[in-house]
Amino acid sequence: MARVFNFSAGPSCLPEDVLKECAAEMLDYQGSGQSVMEMSHRSKNYEPIIQDAEAMVRKLMNVPDNYKVLFVQGGGSTQFAMVAQNLGIKNKKAAYIETGVWAKKAAAEAKHLGIDVDIIASSKDKNYSYIPKVEKITGDYDYAYICFNNTIMGTHYEYIPDTGNIPLVADISSCVLSEPLDVTKFGLLFAGAQKNLAPAGVTLVIIREDLIPEVDACLPGTPTMLAYKTHADNGSMYNTPPCYTIYVLDKVLHWIEKNGGAEGMLKRNKEKADYLYNYLDNNEGNFYHATAEVGSRSLMNVPFLTKYSDHAADDEVAAAKEKEINDAFVKAASAAGLVNLKGHRLVGGMRASIYNAMTLEGVKALVEFMKDFAKKN
């Protein structure tokens, strides 16, 4: 069977070149007679892999020497707790900008751990369809927190809030290395790998060294494994790391480098996103429309609705018609080799996630399908 165009929000598509390299080395990694899946994480064969992965992160993201690069487990959701447990230790107070599900969950987790959470801005009033403008954050906060790209809502920060001496924390799971980012503007960055870097299983953390507390200085009750110092002091190998996922991540990083680094990814991603948004904003009869507002639109995640959604909220007949059209779209798209386009329930409609590995060819195929579907419906 031919490969499909996979628009999943995560786990997402990986570069075909990387998949082929992994397949070629599956049974025998560089003459070792074994798969990376089978290696001891402390072996001479594996150590260069994780060391190179860190070096590539530093190179591609221009990570300064006073930041640690960590590979941890538990996904972005575990970071919601780790951030609070490690950074919220002085005043036990933090500022959060609420721009969707993941920022909201992160704030709830911090509050659960006893942090005084201040929601300093929110886009809830318009179903999180835009990014609030908060140019400067002041106060006695231990840290300020944002979700830089909102996978579900399809929004993205086009600015970085000025937090002064307050460490800025950002969840960059769905936009990591999709564009250049000034690491020095942040105290901590984290990214679940399964959208732009690797299969699910590893989370990248980049943290300024002076923000790493001693294990016993974290919030009371913090497990050893949830202290950043545990991982920083042990080269991300306090316990067995997700070895194979890190191996794939390293290959993806080299693929990004070959394709122009973060700058090359931005050019590639902007071309894809512009092509899709241009169609959504100018399609005949306004059959489709994007849900995110101009000025806050993600290059990675593009939710869209059909004209049948306009009255669905207060009209049962319209709601039934909308569901019928959405289901038909997703089913027909899948049959055409365009998979995982169903939108999240909080937005409805459809969503095309067009991460680094998605090709312009795939986006063009989607638009052609959308044109044909609109004519028939």
Catalytically annotated residues: 102, 171, 195
Query: Inter-axis angle of helices 261-282 and 47-61, to 10 degrees?
Result: 60
Q: What angle do CA 332, 149, 178 make, to 5 degrees?
A: 85
Nearest to 265 by CA among 293, 295, 300: 300
CA–CA gap between residue 226 and residue 74 (Å, rounded) = 10
**Could you check whether the bond before residue 11 is cis, i.e. omega within 30 degrees of 0?**
yes
Which contiguous run of DSSP H or E holds residue 146?
strand 143-147
CB contact at 8 A, 39 and 33 = no
- Which residues make Cβ contacts (< 8 Å) with residue 164, sequence separation at least 6? 136, 137, 138
Nearest to 96 by CA among 16, 182, 161, 179: 161
CA–CA gap between residue 189 and residue 233 (Å, rounded) = 18
Phi, psi of 187 (to 5 degrees): -85, -35
